[in-house]
Chain A
Amino acid sequence: MSTVTSPSTVHHEHAAAHAPHQASFLSTYVFSKDHKVIGLQFLFSTLVWFLIGGLLALAVRWQVAWPWSDVPVLGKLFAQEGGQMAPEFYTMLFTMHATVMIFLVIIPILAGAFGNFLIPLMIGADDMAFPTLNMLSYWFMWPAFIAFGASFFVEGGAASSGWTSYPTLSTNIASSPGSGWGQTLWLLGLTMVGVSSMLGSVNYMTTIILMRAPGMTMFRLPMTIWAMFITAILQAFALPVLTAAGFMQLADRTLGTGFFSPEGNIVNNWMQSTGGGQPLLWQHLFWFYSHPAVYIMILPAMGMVSDILTTFARKPLFGYRPMVYSVAGIAGLGFIVWGHHMFMSGMNPALGVTFMVSTMMIALPSAVKTFNWLGTVWGGRIQFTTAMLFALSFVSMFIIGGLSGIFMAATPVDIFIHDTYFIVAHFHYVLFAGTAMGVWAGIYYWFPKMFGRTMNEFWGKVHFFLTFLFMNGTFFTMHILGAVGFPRRLADAYHYETFHHLQPLNAFMTWCAIGMVASQAIFAVNFFWSMFFGPIAGRNPWNANTLEWTAPSPPGHGNFDFQPVVHRGPYEYSVPGVEKDHLMQTDPPNAAAAALAAAH
Chain B
Amino acid sequence: MSRLSGILWSLLFLAVPVLGVATFAVAPAYDIWLPKDVSEHGKAIDGLFYFILALTGVVFIATEVLLFWFLWKYDAARNKNAATYIHGSHTLEVVWTIIPAATLLFLAIYQMNTWADVKMRRPAMSPSVEVVGRQFEWRLRYPGRDGTLGTADDLFLVNDLHVPADEDFLVQLKSMDVLHSFFLPNLRIKQDAVPGMKIPVWFKATETGQFDIVCAELCGWGHYKMKGRVTVESRADFDRWLESQYAKQEATQPEPDPSTAVARAE
Residues of A whose CB lies within 8 Å of any CB of B are 86-88, 90-91, 160-162, 166-169, 172, 175-177, 261-263, 265-268, 275, 278-280, 313-322, 344-346, 349-350, 352-353, 356-357, 360-361, 363-364, 367-368, 370-372, 374-375, 377-384, 389, 392-393, 395-396, 399-400, 403-404, 406-407, 409-413, 415-416, 418-420, 465, 468, 472, 476-477, 479-481, 483-485, 487-493, 495-496, 498, 501-502, 505, 573-576, 581
Are A418 and B83 touching (Cβ within 8 A)?
A: no
Considering only CB atoms and an 8 Å cut-off, how many residues of chain B contact the other chain?
Answer: 100
Say yes or no for B241: interface residue by CB 8 A criterion. Answer: no
Say yes or no for B152: interface residue by CB 8 A criterion. Answer: no
Question: Given contacts A176-B220, A415-B188, A502-B32, are A495 and B93 in contact (CB under 8 A)?
Answer: no
Are A374 and B70 touching (Cβ within 8 A)?
A: yes
Are B79 and A268 touching (Cβ within 8 A)?
A: no
- Which residues of chain B are within 8 angstroms of A493 by Cβ–Cβ distance? 224
Are A360 and B224 touching (Cβ within 8 A)?
A: no
5 A–B contacts, CB within 8 A, in A order: A88-B220, A275-B196, A349-B115, A357-B109, A480-B32
Q: Tell me the chain B residues, 12-30 only, with Cβ under 8 Å from chain A.
A: 12-13, 16, 19-20, 23-24, 27, 30
Are A176 and B112 touching (Cβ within 8 A)?
A: no
Are A375 and B192 touching (Cβ within 8 A)?
A: no
Q: Across the A-B interface, give the 4 residue pairs with the lowest CB-CB distance, nearest first.
A: A262-B196, A88-B221, A379-B84, A319-B88
Contact with A along B114-153 (1 / 0, CB 8 A): 1110111000000000000001000000000000000000
- Which residues of chain B are within 8 angstroms of A472 by Cβ–Cβ distance? 16, 19
A480 to B112, CA, bound (A): 25
A468 is contacted by which of B12, B48, B76 (Cβ under 8 Å)? B12
Residue from B49, B63, B66, B188 with most neighbouring chain A CB atoms (10 Å): B63
B63 is contacted by which of A261, A374, A406 (Cβ under 8 Å)? A374
Question: Given contacts A396-B64, A495-B224, are A501 and B218 in contact (CB under 8 A)?
Answer: no
A23 to B42, CA, bound (A): 70
Are A406 and B221 touching (Cβ within 8 A)?
A: no
Question: Given contacts A346-B199, A465-B12, A495-B225, are A381 and B67 in contact (CB under 8 A)?
Answer: no
- Which residues of chain A are within 8 angstroms of B45 by Cβ–Cβ distance? 412-413, 415-416
Say yes or no for B178: interface residue by CB 8 A criterion. Answer: yes
Question: Given contacts A367-B96, A382-B71, A415-B188, are A262 and B56 in contact (CB under 8 A)?
Answer: no
- Which residues of chain B are within 8 angstroms of A322 by Cβ–Cβ distance? 88, 93, 97
11 additional contacts, CB 8 Å, given A160-B221, A378-B70? A317-B88, A346-B193, A349-B119, A377-B67, A381-B83, A384-B77, A411-B115, A416-B185, A419-B181, A495-B227, A581-B83
- Which residues of chain A are within 8 angstroms of B111 by Cβ–Cβ distance? 356, 410-413
Q: Which residue of B lies closest to A168 (CB)?
A: B178
- Which residues of chain A are within 8 angstroms of B220 by Cβ–Cβ distance? 88, 91, 160, 169, 175-176
Q: Of B100-108, B163-171, B231-239, B257-265, which binds chain A?
A: B100-108
Say yes or no for B157: interface residue by CB 8 A criterion. Answer: no
A166 to B195, CA, bound (A): 12
A413 is contacted by which of B31, B52, B216 (Cβ under 8 Å)? B52
A380 is contacted by which of B9, B84, B89 (Cβ under 8 Å)? B84
- Which residues of chain B are within 8 angstroms of A321 by Cβ–Cβ distance? 88
Say yes or no for B38: interface residue by CB 8 A criterion. Answer: no
Are B101 and A361 touching (Cβ within 8 A)?
A: yes
- Which residues of chain A are within 8 angstroms of B194 by Cβ–Cβ distance? 279-280, 345-346
A382 to B107, CA, bound (A): 37
A139 to B88, CA, bound (A): 43
A317 to B77, CA, bound (A): 21
Shortest CB-to-CB span from B103 to chain A, Å, is 9
Residues of B whose CB lies within 8 Å of any CB of A are 2, 5-6, 9, 12-13, 16, 19-20, 23-24, 27, 30-35, 44-45, 48-49, 52-53, 55-56, 59-60, 63-64, 66-67, 70-71, 74-77, 79, 81-89, 92-93, 96-97, 100-101, 104-105, 107-109, 111-112, 114-116, 118-120, 135, 176-179, 181, 183, 185, 188-197, 199, 212, 214-225, 227
A472 to B13, CA, bound (A): 12
- Which residues of chain B are within 8 angstroms of A399 by Cβ–Cβ distance? 59-60, 63-64
A279 to B196, CA, bound (A): 8
Question: Given contacts A168-B177, A315-B85, are A483 and B74 in contact (CB under 8 A)?
Answer: no
Are B218 and A489 touching (Cβ within 8 A)?
A: yes
Are A364 and B100 touching (Cβ within 8 A)?
A: yes
A350 to B116, CA, bound (A): 8
A91 is contacted by which of B30, B79, B107, B218 (Cβ under 8 Å)? B218
Q: Which residue of B lies closest to A372 (CB)?
A: B88
Question: Given contacts A379-B86, A480-B24, are A346 and B192 in contact (CB under 8 A)?
Answer: yes
Question: Given contacts A314-B83, A364-B104, A379-B74, are A278 and B196 in contact (CB under 8 A)?
Answer: yes
Shortest CB-to-CB span from B78 to chain A, Å, is 10
Are A360 and B83 touching (Cβ within 8 A)?
A: no
Shortest CB-to-CB span from A246 to chain B, Å, is 18
Shortest CB-to-CB span from B49 to chain A, Å, is 5
Are B212 and A498 touching (Cβ within 8 A)?
A: yes
A426 to B36, CA, bound (A): 24
Are B71 and A377 touching (Cβ within 8 A)?
A: yes
Are A490 and B224 touching (Cβ within 8 A)?
A: yes
- Which residues of chain B are within 8 angstroms of A344 by Cβ–Cβ distance? 181, 190-192, 216
Q: Which residue of B lies closest to A267 (CB)?
A: B177
Q: Which residue of B lies closest to A502 (CB)?
A: B32
B23 is contacted by which of A313, A345, A380, A476 (Cβ under 8 Å)? A476
Are A381 and B85 touching (Cβ within 8 A)?
A: no
Are B212 and A370 touching (Cβ within 8 A)?
A: no
Shortest CB-to-CB span from B129 to chain A, Å, is 18
Shortest CB-to-CB span from A440 to chain B, Å, is 16
Are A574 and B83 touching (Cβ within 8 A)?
A: yes
A392 to B27, CA, bound (A): 28
- Which residues of chain A are within 8 angstroms of B104 by Cβ–Cβ distance? 360-361, 363-364, 406
A537 to B74, CA, bound (A): 27
Residue from B33, B71, B185, B221 with most neighbouring chain A CB atoms (10 Å): B221
A501 is contacted by which of B32, B48, B114 (Cβ under 8 Å)? B32
Are B60 and A87 touching (Cβ within 8 A)?
A: no
Are A384 and B221 touching (Cβ within 8 A)?
A: no
- Which residues of chain B are within 8 angstroms of A488 by Cβ–Cβ distance? 216, 218
A416 to B191, CA, bound (A): 10
B16 is contacted by which of A278, A357, A396 (Cβ under 8 Å)? A396
Are A266 and B115 touching (Cβ within 8 A)?
A: no
Are A313 and B196 touching (Cβ within 8 A)?
A: no
Shortest CB-to-CB span from B181 to chain A, Å, is 6
Q: Which residue of B lies closest to A363 (CB)?
A: B104
Are B179 and A169 touching (Cβ within 8 A)?
A: yes
Residue from B56, B76, B179, B183 with most neighbouring chain A CB atoms (10 Å): B179
